[in-house]
Structure formats: C-alpha cells, structure tokens
A = this chain, B = another copy of it.
Amino acid sequence: MEWKPDKVNDLPLYKQISNYLESCILNGEWPSGSRLPSERNLAKTFRVNRSTINSAFEELKSSGLVQSIVGVGTVVSKNVWENDQNRTPNWDRFVKEGFYLSNNPINQMIYQLIQTEEKIINFGIGELHADLLPMKLMENVHRSMKLDGDLGYQHIQGNIKLREVISTHMKQYRNITASASSILITSGAQQAIHLIIQCLLCPGDSVANENPSYAYSLPIFHSDGLNTHFLDVQDEGIDPEQIIDLYKKHRIKMIFLNPIHQNPTGTTLNLERRKKVMEICNKYGIAIIEDDPYSLLTYDDEKMYSLKSMDTNGLVLYISSLSKIISSGLRIGWISGPQPVIQRLADVKQQIDFGHSNFSQWYATALLESPYFNEHIIELRRGLKNKRDLIVEAFKHELHQDIRFIVPNGGIHLWCESNHKTINDQLLFNDAIKRGVIFAPGNTLGSQHNFFRFTYSRPEMNTIANGIHRFAEALKASIKK
C-alpha cells in the first residue's frame, strides 16, 4: 500500500484514511468478504498511531462498509452494493488454489521490511549495496548506448549478441566452453531453477539439495511435488559418497549444487570432491544442476573452476547470473547445457513470459563487453573482502564466546552458529528487528536451528559494526531468558 495520508492536509488523518479505504472498497480492490490488513500493519504502512486507524475503522463501520468479526478481523461487508443478489467471485478460494505454496513468511517479511523500514541494518538479502556496484561503468555504458536494436519480441533463447558475449565471458572467466546456441537467458538464476524444476521433473521424482542451501529455501520444490533429499554441507562441501546412498535408496535423478562460495555457508566443494562428484554422477547418470552465481567473487587470486568446466559428457546444467557481480535489479541470468534441454526450456520460457526485456539484455551485453568489466570485478572483490573483514572483526569483538563461524574466502555470506542451543530462533529474529537489524534465520535455509546467515554485501561499510552490535544485544538477551 503506497498511498500515504498527507500530514499537512486540513482533513484529519483518520478521515483521510477512511476515505482512502472507502475508495479501495468501492472500486473493488477490497471485494466484499475480504479481510482488511490489521490495524497494526496499517498503522505501520501509513506511519500513524494505531488509534488513528482505529478511528478510521470506526468511521467505515458506522457507514456499514466494513464489520468486525471476532477471530477474523475487519471484513468488507457483504451488502456493500445495492443489489443483494450480486455475488463476488470467490477470490478467497482462488487465492488458495493452484499448486504454488506461498513464500516462507520470514522471507516475505524480510522483503516487506526493506520497503518500509529504511533505518534497519539489513544483512537479510543476498545482494550488493550501491557502494559495490559499478556505477561509473554503468553510466558509461548508458551514455554510449544507442537504442537502434530490435525493439520487438526476441529470439526465444534471448538476444544473440548477449549469448555470444556470455559464451566468451564463460570461456575467459570460468573455463567453460559453451556456444551461444546452448545458452538460454533467464530472469536471474531464480528463473533458471524454476524452469528446470517445472519443465524437466514430475511430481514424485526424487532430487537432492544441499542442506543448508538457497535451494532449501525455495517452496517451488515442494509445490511441484518433488521428493527432496539432502546432502549435508561440510567445511569442504558435500560428501560425494552421500550421493551414492541417496541414489541407492531413492533413485535421485538430479542434484542441485552451489559448489563455490555456497549460499549460505560460504564453503567451496574442494577439488578432490568435485572430481568425485563428477565421477559418481557419470556412473549413475545423475544430472547435476550447478548453480554458480559466486565463482567470480574469490578474494585471493586463486581461480575457482566449476563442475561444468570439467564436464565433457553433458552431465551438468550450469546456471549463473549477473545479480551478485553487477546488479540484481538487471535480472539477467543464464543456463547452459545440452541443446535439446536448452531448447525445451526456451520454449516454455516463451509460454511463461514471452522472453526477456531487450533493455536489460542490451545493458548486460555492454557491461560484460566493457574493457572495464575486469577492473570492476577486481574492485568488487576488494570491497567484499573489506566488508568480510569488518563483519568478522565485529563478531569477534561482540560475540567471541557465543558463536562460531568459518571465515568465508569469497562470496557475500557469513554463516554462523550460536553456542547456546536453547535459543528460540523466531523470538531472536523478532527482537533483532526491534533493535534495528535483520538477518536470515538459518532454519529458512536448512534443517537445523541456531544458525544465522549474515549477508555482508548488503549493508554499508560504516553500519556493519553497529549492526552486529545490535544483533549481539539481541542474542545476549535471548540467552539470558
């Protein structure tokens, strides 16, 4: 809800609000029978006292537009319209239909809070702060861009120029050989994962995810009726032998891995294990979905090579994205793999959204092609390393005795575990928000409690120490309880 009451208007706030809600009801935005947001939420959204909302609700009640129902809340009355025989479609049922589960409410809340609470120090979202973005490079690209490309519907695999540039980029930065025709442009790695799940698998199929992992947090695996099994992430990544176990027990068909600077643990699958994973999957014919948004973000100069770069057999569908190296708002990701698979995914992507915006594809092409791209990556690594040092320092300073973590040598996430096993994750999370800091509770990303993910790329440099201080206060308070 983006409308806000006007605090210098002559009309009292409560009256402005009741007028606004009335218009929403009368033009069908809140159909009869639907529940209004709670007084508390509205007070937050409109930045007024709860009593103001209460008065607005009273106003609406007295005009008969809404009514209170005990145990439900404030509901739009059924008889708003003259003709009593009218029936509104059962939107409530529609909203509950379809096979999609809702997003995890904690994740929903994290995304809502960044819209409304500007002062919160945010370690909860996996993206780069503006201080890490290639703003100069972007502006150069913007200024030198000519809008003379094709403005119509595009090739269903995405802009050919961008696919060629990505093909070159993958060779140069990732040691991966893939021709433009075996690449599909997607709306970030997110859509790549979604397409793979929805197009290549069926309800009842068994797959394996890392535990913890970003994939763990995605409701789409369950929405789609997959049987999801887990590969435990250790300091050196997953144990390849566990793949064999899962294959023998459950005939897993696909494994989803994020082997380099993993989200959330920051760990990297070591070389020996990588070879072993390839060997095992080759032997059993298990498809590998390698989600690799972070391999360019290694702080020391060592290059990290993907499973895909070892693949001569069409074993791996490789996913990456510009979200963590340029800008998540660009929404540019890609999948590379066997052509028949890429073509199938492209056909379905066309049905879903008719392909990707030309505009962001042009920017992505120019950014990747720019001679300054490499410089940006070097600077980005340096910036991330500085932020990593700051957060590590802050944790040591504030919570030396209370938490454990592995210092990440790349990527954007720090994964830590509390030494106090009795903490209530939900209460801690809520208390931290009250103190002005947000992080991702570990159990949204994995099956264990008492873990927390701090994404240090997101807050500004000079807020990191303060953010960890606030978290420390919250944690100490919850230990005492």
Q: Does A98 contact B (CB under 8 A)?
A: yes
Q: CB distance B353 to A359 under 8 Å?
A: no
Identify which of A139, A199, A352 gathers the most chain B CB atoms within 10 Å of its CB: A352
Specify which chain B residues have a CB less than 8 angstroms from the CB of A95 in the assembled complex.
200, 340-341, 344
In the complex, what's the smallest C-beta–C-beta distance from A135 to chain B, in angstroms? Answer: 7
Specify which chain B residues have a CB less than 8 angstroms from the CB of A70 in the assembled complex.
none
Specify which chain B residues have a CB less than 8 angstroms from the CB of A223 in the assembled complex.
351
Interface size on A, residues (CB 8 A): 119
Q: CB distance A100 to B151 under 8 Å?
A: no
Q: CB distance A357 to B344 under 8 Å?
A: no
Q: CB distance A284 to B100 under 8 Å?
A: no
Contact of A128 among B98, B152, B205 (CB under 8 A): B152
Q: Does A313 contact B (CB under 8 A)?
A: yes
Among A85-137, those with CB < 8 Å from B are 85-92, 94-95, 97-100, 102-103, 108, 111, 115, 125, 127-128, 130, 133, 135
Q: Mark A69-96, 1 if CB is under 8 A from B, else 0.
A: 0000000000001010111111110110
Q: CB distance B94 to A200 under 8 Å?
A: yes
Q: CB distance A339 to B153 under 8 Å?
A: no
Q: CB distance A354 to B187 under 8 Å?
A: yes
In the complex, what's the smallest C-beta–C-beta distance from A228 to chain B, in angstroms? Answer: 16
Q: CB distance B356 to A331 under 8 Å?
A: yes
Q: CB distance B356 to A98 under 8 Å?
A: no
Specify which chain B residues have a CB less than 8 angstroms from the CB of A287 in the assembled complex.
89, 91, 94
Task: Please measure, in the bound complex, the distance between the C-alpha atom of A138 and the C-alpha atom of B357, giving whole angstroms.
Answer: 15
Task: Please measure, in the bound complex, the distance between the C-alpha atom of A83 and the C-alpha atom of B95, giving whole angstroms.
Answer: 52
Contact of A179 among B2, B34, B99 (CB under 8 A): B2
Instruction: Considering the complex, give the chain B residue whose CB is closest to the CB of A321.
Output: B354
Q: Does A238 contact B (CB under 8 A)?
A: no
Q: Mark A298-325, 1 if CB is under 8 A from B, else 0.
A: 0000000000000111111000000000
Q: CB distance B327 to A152 under 8 Å?
A: yes
Q: CB distance B283 to A87 under 8 Å?
A: yes
Q: Does A467 contact B (CB under 8 A)?
A: no
Q: Does A55 contact B (CB under 8 A)?
A: no
Extra inter-chain contacts (8) besides given A152-B329, A330-B357, CB under 8 Å: A3-B181, A23-B179, A27-B312, A29-B338, A32-B314, A85-B283, A100-B351, A191-B354
Listed A/B pairs (26) with beta-carbon separation below 8 Å: A2-B164, A3-B179, A3-B180, A23-B177, A30-B314, A30-B339, A34-B314, A87-B283, A88-B313, A89-B253, A89-B314, A94-B253, A95-B340, A95-B341, A125-B153, A127-B152, A128-B152, A133-B151, A138-B147, A142-B142, A153-B329, A187-B187, A187-B356, A188-B354, A219-B351, A357-B360
What are the 6 tightest A-B residue pairs by CB atom distance, in nearest-first order? A31-B314, A28-B314, A87-B285, A187-B353, A329-B358, A89-B287
